[in-house]
Amino acid sequence: MRSTVGLRELAGPGPGSLRLINDGGQTGISYEPYCYHCYRRESQLEDGAKLNACQYCFLTSFCPSCQQTHPSAECATLQDIAADDKIIVDLRRRTGKSSTISFTKFPRKQHFLLSSAKDWYDYYTRLSDMGGFRSKMNRDLKYLANDPKEREFVEYMRCGTNTTTIQLTLIAALEAAIPNVSTRGSINLHIIGAAGAEFASVPAFEELLHFLPSLTALRLSFVGLNVLEDLKHDTETQNPHTLQCCTTCTKMGRTISITTWRGPYHAYVDTEFYKTPDLAAAFHSGFSVDEQADWYPTIKYLAHAPHPTLLTAARYFEIQGHMGVWKNLGAEFVKNAELNKWKGMSPSLAVCGDKPNEVVYQNYWWYIVKQR
């Protein structure tokens, strides 16, 4: 129940095309590079000619007959993608993990609005505890000094925004939808269509405790068709799992609990386990593009739900589709669709993009549906 945001594992050299293949009943994806200018694949070139990769980004291909360059700004972005891919590959090789998480290490004693921060640089150096890197990286979180260990830390920090974009976007939505969020002792969040990205980011939910000093209890409910079943219990037992928080939060009695329910959200609201959330969120649902029939009952419910709902998307055509559906359902908005300054800072190549080398960012667009 979610859209595919970007292509990392299959990228390369691009641009290229994706095709569904079926081999002995097993369905998969085939990736084939093509020329940036004439769109011919290597199999279509004459006399066994080969495609040439861009010597700078290595993610763009040219046939021998065409110009061997592409726009410099585009190439620079693709170089960032290639560099970040190497970081992730190295991380996976050393730790077995494919994502980084970098959030505030210690709880704040004083509350500052996240909306007061201009961007991720401002968040890290002014609101979080990375002030020592203020002069060592630029606003794009690119390292400016010469220390290898510091460079690695900043690179992980930048890549980590693709994970913690979830938590900061949630905090921004809470600020926009709940006027007294800074004084709330407990918050109940429902993550709709939860899948791999949301589960991988679970440790970073402690950022909500660290950023909101009054918050003592954060309750999370992960709901969706991709939620893994509990091997020991039926999916409807709703036994909460308590996260291990930092020593300071633990001594203060602050807690984060998670419950899961496998199934569509509109079915979950009719169960005995449902409790009205302060905010619900669906990240990259793709409901106007993928599995529209499956999503529609949930979207119809959310259009007039008793709580605000945050939604995100990677590309503008998805947002256009979203708005068409909401308009037909008579939904109103706390925040209209706009660019999200808490999007992930590490781009990816789009899957089946509308143009060669189309780049997407995690949670690039966001908006909030108003409660009824």
What is the tens place of the pLDDT at every residue in 205-215?
999 999 999 99
pLDDT of 233 strictly over 80: no
Calculate the CA 225 to chain-centre distance: 18
Mean pLDDT of 53-70: 94
- Predicted local distance difference test score (pLDDT) of residue 100: 80
Instruction: State residue 3's pLDDT score.
Output: 55
98 CB contacts (<8 Å, ≥6 apart)? 88, 91, 92
String of DSSP letters for 74-130 = HHHHHHHHHHHHHHHHHHHHHHS-S------SS--SS---GGG--SHHHIIIIISS-
pLDDT for the residue numbered 238: 64
pLDDT digits (tens, 9 = 90+) for 183-208: 999 999 999 999 999 999 999 999 99
pLDDT of residue 37: 94
Band (25; pLDDT cuts 50, 70, 90): very low
Percent of the chain at pLDDT exceeding 70: 88
pLDDT for 330 equals 97
pLDDT, mean over the chain:
88
pLDDT in tens, 250-283: 999 999 999 999 999 999 999 999 999 999 999 9
Interhelix angle 72-95/148-177, rounded to 10 degrees, is 100
Looking at residue 13, the DSSP 8-state letter turns out to be S
Judge whether residue 1 has pLDDT over 60: no
Distance CA 162, CA 284 (A): 13
Distance CA 54, CA 44 (A): 19
**Residue 289: per-residue pLDDT:** 87
Mean pLDDT of the 243-256 span: 96
Quick check: 347 and 361 in contact, CB under 8 A? yes
Element (H, E) at 196: helix 196-200
CA 362, CA 351: separation in Å to the nearest integer? 13
Q: What pLDDT does residue 163 have?
A: 94
CA–CA separation, 190 and 199 (whole Å): 13
Is residue 47 within 8 A of residue 92, CB to CB? The reply is: no
Per-residue pLDDT for 30 more than 60?
no
Taking only the tens place, the pLDDT of each residue in 289-307 is 877 889 999 999 999 999 9
pLDDT digits (tens, 9 = 90+) for 306-325: 999 999 999 999 999 999 99
Only one residue has tokens 């990205």, namely: 197
What does the pLDDT look like over 113-127, one tens digit per residue?
999 999 999 999 999
